[in-house]
Structure 1
Amino acid sequence: MSAPAEGTGTLSARLRRGTLWGALNVGLSRVLQFITTLVVARLVAPEHFGALAVALVVQVIAVNIAELGATAALGRGDRDPDEIAPTVFTISLVTSVLLTALVILLAPSLAAALGDSGATPVVQVMGLTVLLSGMTSVPTALIWRDFLQKRRILVDVLNSFVALVLVVPMALWGWGAMALALSRVGGQLTATIGYWIISPKRYLPGFNIVEARGILRLGLPLAMANLVVFVTLNLDYMIIGRELGPVQLGLYLLAFNLASMPSSVITAVIRTVAVPTFGRLNANGTLAVAALKVTAGIAYIGFPVSALLAGLGAPLIVAFYGDKWIGAAVAMASLGIFGAARILSEMFADLCVGAGKTVGLFWVQVIWLIALVPAMLIGVRLWGIAGAGFAHVVVTWFVVIPVYLVLVAKSTGARILSLLGTCFPAAAAAAVCGILAWLVAARIPVALPSVLAGAFAGLVVYALVTFRWAQALLRDIKQASAGEATLGNPVLAGTDRTGNRS
């Protein structure tokens, strides 16, 4: 019997295939990005990373609002793409062109405002990725919608590989931050061509005013939420650049990238399948039960990784990047803990999008930003880049996650105490894992062996402590999947409706 074609079959089968290929894709891409950072960190000075951080603040914010959230209407999978894709394409293309022009024109002012006027040409070059991203909005949304992650692997890996191939010689030629910016543009151009080739269907721009209203009604709150969240997540770069200068900003960027790499991998894998899956589960009335299972599973996977990053920060920095970057280590402990909160917050946001409740996401991000501004200013002025990490931890865990819990409960019908309860065993065991890893690593003076020994000890203890809980979780997930029907019918048997930086 032949294997089912990609994008066909029951929802859980498509989810498993999409997650498997998505995980492979993200893993390969992140490995190449990690190698790129590893190589470049040996070739350029910390201040060049600071200039890149300034450019990334502008580029990331622009890219994530360029299509006004319109692709969410395609990604949810509950509409015929022929009806809305041309309008989505037009919205994305127009806004990305306008934003690219604004980035190029305003680059001098933006770079100065972020504390590094010398980053102006880097900001302008990075602005080109905004236009390229807008041109691929519909192809990427269609691939996302239909779980076609297998097709994405070659494109995304080529993106990272081209960036690596370009950046090394340019860094050796002494181009510094511009080498980093040009390599990213080259990778994005490769991805743009690739996505148009692998897209399941190609659409030309078009416009339907009735469809546009519905698309923007869903997408605008999401776009505004994205704008606020990416301002929030880049607020640390803005404040560090102005308060501490480009060298400290470069050290912080390296620490942030290393600390956030596991969480960004996990959230990127989830995002390849989350919204299309949650949208269908919401339509079938089973999202409340699924929210509990997903929260428990994500906590089990993500929390120990974050704990290890917190416990092994200093030897990790030295082992991977060398002694000249040791100043970045002071931020690692708090940034590792922040990574765990970031995993939960992004998954909670996807649950709300899948439920079609996007207005609340905007207000969550507003609250996040309002709380983070004073916390970040105080933290950076008192404790430097370590204080930036502390600010993230305090705000995300004590302000943002509680607000998200309320929003997810209202959107999906899942109970707040149940959501908290699913995370507690993993959180307690992860704390033990991180502390043990730190104690073991501290006894070994050589960086790489200390990392390996600490990670091994922490993970062994984590696996033993959570063994029975993990078994029960896996059994629950299997039982839920066993009763599924084909798409269009209830997916989980026996349930009632109670409701990615650089």
Structure 2
Amino acid sequence: MNTDLARRATRGTLWAGAGTWLNRLFVLLVIVVLARHLDAREFGVLGVATLAANVALQLDDGGLSDALVWWRGRTRDAAETSLLGCVAVGAAIAGCLALAAPAIAELFRAPDATPLLRVYAIAVLADATAGVYLGMLTRKLAFRTRFYPDVVPAVCGSLVTVGLALNGGGVWSLVIGDVLRSGLQLLIGFLVAGRGLFPRWHPDVALRLWRYGRAALAGSFLEFALQNVDYALVGLLLGPVALGLYTIAFRVAILPFLMITYVIAGVAFPVYARITADAPAVQRVMEVTMRACCSLVFFMGAGLATLAPFLVLLGQRWQPAVPVARFLGIYICLRSAAFMVSMLLRVVSPAANALLRGTWVLLLIALIATLGHAGITAVGAIQAVVAAPMLGAFLLVARRLSGISVAKLLADMARIGVGALIAAAATTALHQGVGALSDPTSVGALLALGATFSGVYALALALIVPRVADDLRRLRSLAARPTSTRNVS
């Protein structure tokens, strides 16, 4: 990988990170405001609507956005074909969502989700079209430019949602904010990347795009299923109130994955696409990105598991979500590590990546369908139990297909995990041993314990894994060494 590509990858991490962190901070604000103004059933109705809408959003580009990032031919022909394909597929998916809305709502015993789903169909079409513009920017590693269509719409949508919720907008607050976000993303994406680009059909290009895109779509959809099959089964087995309780726990738990893992993985994917033939470079990139990701995600995931009782600050009605939040904090650590490996598999073998994700989904379906009647805590425990062996499976398949060394990755993850356990033990001891810090409704106690966890974790990590702070710089310097793929663009 050449020096310019390394520099753009490093800058891309910073810009993608800044954008994602801003987005997720506003998502956290939305969660807090909605949790304060909605009850568990209303949260469950929103869970039904967003689940179905997100299924449609996951399918709406037909895998063509990923294929555009991967494409090795004439970019313009691929972009024109992808744009036409995404508009057509997006319109079809949006129409299906609008027509199926009553049946979906009835299936989940939430008939008041029907109008919400029909409005979400607008967002599906806008998102499908915008995906091409974002894919073009990702292909160029133009994350600085992509910052604007990623962040501005999300911030505007979140502010609208918060404003509506504070003024009694109820469940419609989120729907209206989400539709606004999709529309603004389409507009800004067009302005920064789509002017002069028109939808055209190039049959030979379309065939090659589809060959890659169908596997990428399967892998992406199965990744989505991993994050949402539990929602679906909780709603079907336990009803909208239980779904609302589970949703608040999962929405908080997933934040580290969205804020950290997606950022680093989103930059790693196009880098892997350019250095696949250079095994030493792949190993170096994998080690550095895995270490950086785990150090941050383990901090947040273990912190959530430790401080989960303070969820009741959002209202006592959310107390039943505390045990499941603990399990999901552990799950998200394991899930993030597996996701980082999957970025390499997306390039080396999308089919193997899809097969692993499919296996994971099937295991979750089987266990939750069998044991999920015990309640949402059992569902959270199942998530964590299944994630551990699946992480091992991802590592073994990646070693077989790309030749990476797994031992070093596991050693780094273990050391970071030890640091998280030390911080959790110290914080828990303080929480249980000091009366003033044992009240889960106290903001002061949360701040004190959060500071304790952060300080102990940082100290433990500095002693156990001292290289973490330098990992992004290491990625740049290692990637700058000449390789056989130097001329790949």
What's the TM-score once normalised by structure 2's chain length? 0.91
SS at match of 1:147: coil
CA distance in 2, matches of 1:252, 1:483: 43
Residue matched to 1:118: 112
Residue matched to 2:121: 127
Distance 1:478 1:166, change over 3 A: closer
CA distance in 2, matches of 1:353, 1:256: 26
Q: Does 1:298 align with 2:324?
A: no
Code of the aligned partner of 1:171: A
- How far is 1:194 from its partner? 1.0
CA distance in 1, matches of 2:481, 2:456: 40
CA distance in 1, matches of 2:155, 2:471: 40
CA distance in 2, matches of 1:305, 1:169: 28
Q: Does 1:437 align with 2:430?
A: no
Residue matched to 1:352: 345
Deviation sequence 1:377-416 (CA, Å, 0-9, x none): 344312x111111111011112x21221122223321023
Deviation sequence 1:2-29 (CA, Å, 0-9, x none): xxxxxx9612211121111111111111
Decide whether the 8 Å contact of 2:261 with 2:297 is kept in 1: no
Residue matched to 1:343: 336
Residue matched to 1:146: 140
Q: Does 1:257 align with 2:251?
A: yes
CA distance in 2, matches of 1:222, 1:113: 29
Decide whether the 8 Å contact of 1:291 with 1:412 is kept in 2: no
Residue matched to 1:394: 385
Q: Which runs of 5+ in 1 are unaligned?
A: 1-7, 492-502
Code of the aligned partner of 2:153: N
Instruction: Map 1:15-414 to 2 at 5 A.
Output: 15-76=9-70, 78-172=72-166, 174-199=168-193, 202-285=196-279, 286-315=281-310, 317-319=311-313, 321-355=314-348, 357-382=349-374, 384-398=375-389, 400-414=390-404
Distance 1:57 1:298, change over 3 A: same
Deviation sequence 1:145-179 (CA, Å, 0-9, x none): 22222223333333223223432454356442222
- How far is 1:77 from its partner? 6.4
- How far is 1:311 from its partner? 0.7
Decide whether the 8 Å contact of 2:67 with 2:216 is kept in 1: no
Code of the aligned partner of 2:329: G
Distance 1:352 1:35, change over 3 A: same
Deviation sequence 1:116-142 (CA, Å, 0-9, x none): 222111122122211111111211001
Decide whether the 8 Å contact of 1:149 with 1:272 is kept in 2: no
Decide whether the 8 Å contact of 1:147 with 1:272 is kept in 2: no
- How far is 1:478 from its partner? 4.9
Distance 1:289 1:410, change over 3 A: farther
Decide whether the 8 Å contact of 1:155 with 1:191 is kept in 2: yes
Decide whether the 8 Å contact of 1:65 with 1:224 is kept in 2: no
CA distance in 1, matches of 2:250, 2:76: 41
Distance 1:171 1:304, change over 3 A: closer
Code of the aligned partner of 2:85: I
Residue matched to 1:4: none
Q: Which runs of 5+ in 2 are unaligned?
A: none
Match of 2:407 among 412, 417, 420: 417
Code of the aligned partner of 1:418: K
Instruction: Pick which of 60-69 and 153-162 moved more.
Output: 153-162
CA distance in 2, matches of 1:96, 1:111: 21
Deviation sequence 1:250-273 (CA, Å, 0-9, x none): 121111111111221112312441
Q: Does 1:459 align with 2:454?
A: yes
Decide whether the 8 Å contact of 1:54 with 1:114 is kept in 2: yes
- How far is 1:293 from its partner? 2.6
Aligned length: 479
Deviation sequence 1:358-386 (CA, Å, 0-9, x none): 0112111221121101222344312x111
Decide whether the 8 Å contact of 1:379 with 1:387 is kept in 2: yes
Residue matched to 2:416: 426
CA distance in 1, matches of 2:482, 2:57: 33
Distance 1:84 1:488, change over 3 A: farther
Instruction: Pick which of 477-486 and 166-175 moved more.
Output: 477-486
Code of the aligned partner of 2:240: P
CA distance in 1, matches of 2:94, 2:355: 27
SS at match of 1:115: coil
Deviation sequence 1:401-439 (CA, Å, 0-9, x none): 122112222332102333322311111221222232233
What's the TM-score once normalised by structure 1's chain length? 0.89
Aligned Cα root-mean-square deviation (Å): 2.4
- How far is 1:475 from its partner? 6.3
Distance 1:488 1:215, change over 3 A: farther
- How far is 1:454 from its partner? 2.2
- How far is 1:283 from its partner? 4.5
Code of the aligned partner of 2:372: V
Instruction: Pick which of 143-152 and 165-174 moved more.
Output: 165-174
Code of the aligned partner of 1:118: D
Decide whether the 8 Å contact of 2:33 with 2:166 is kept in 1: no
- How far is 1:58 from its partner? 1.2
Decide whether the 8 Å contact of 1:297 with 1:473 is kept in 2: yes
CA distance in 1, matches of 2:197, 2:282: 32
CA distance in 1, matches of 2:199, 2:243: 41
Decide whether the 8 Å contact of 1:46 with 1:251 is kept in 2: yes
Code of the aligned partner of 1:437: T
CA distance in 2, matches of 1:347, 1:200: 30
SS at match of 2:61: coil
What's the % identity of the aligned pairs? 23
- How far is 1:488 from its partner? 8.2
